[in-house]
Chain A
Amino acid sequence: DAKTTQPNSMESNEEEPVHLPCNHSTISGTDYIHWYRQLPSQGPEYVIHGLTSNVNNRMASLAIAEDRKSSTLILHRATLRDAAVYYCIPPTTSGTYKYIFGTGTRLKVLA
């Protein structure tokens, strides 16, 4: 299984951009990198996913390194509601549904 490394915690001021990194030690060539977040007392929720190039949606942007061994989730303007644990899920073994969560980064947003 792919190993992931994420910082345990990060802090950001409200309305500032946040860059959350994730390193994956092994990768598959054809599968996607996913990011989820978990707010207190809730199940994880989908944030974004991508394959090789940078991706944007209404919640965030995802920057993927050329060798696909790392990715960065970008929240363009953090709000208090973005305080959560952010997990990256590296590419699965191709053709399986083995989505293994990374260690997670607890994001604190300061007012």
Chain B
Amino acid sequence: DTEVTQTPKHLVMGMTNKKSLKCEQHMGHRAMYWYKQKAKKPPELMFVYSYEKLSINESVPSRFSPECPNSSLLNLHLHALQPEDSALYLCASSRVGNSGANVLTFGAGSRLTVL
């Protein structure tokens, strides 16, 4: 299995809702990433988990709450979002170590619309 699976593919939520995005991989990768991508812009790094521990938080607002319950799963919990948070949310995974030579494998993304 060489895929990263993201669900749901599309999500529409109101500003008072609580929802979650899910990401799963079975490649044995121990680093997992969340990126946010606005239209016609590059992906922006949000969070990185290494060995199920949060290692990078790029000053993301607390209305985004990541969780890595095990080595195969990564969640992004969403609460009290704003319309400007509407974007494509991409999950990726990679091996660890190896001085930056690790290749990222991306999912197809979850497209979020906040009304």
Contact = CB atoms under 8 A, between A and B. Distances in A.
Contacts of A41: 108
A102 B42 contact: yes
Interface residues of A, number: 28
A97 B31 contact: yes
A98 interface: yes
Which residue of B55, B94, B101, B105 has the most chain A CB atoms within 10 A of its CB atom? B101
Interface residues of B, number: 27
Contacts, number: 68
B102 to A, nearest CB: 7
Interface in A31-72: 31-32, 34, 36, 41-46, 49, 51
Interface of A: 28, 30-32, 34, 36, 41-46, 49, 51, 87, 91-92, 94-104
16 contacts: A32-B99, A32-B100, A36-B106, A41-B108, A46-B103, A46-B104, A49-B101, A51-B101, A95-B99, A97-B33, A97-B48, A97-B94, A97-B96, A99-B104, A100-B45, A101-B44
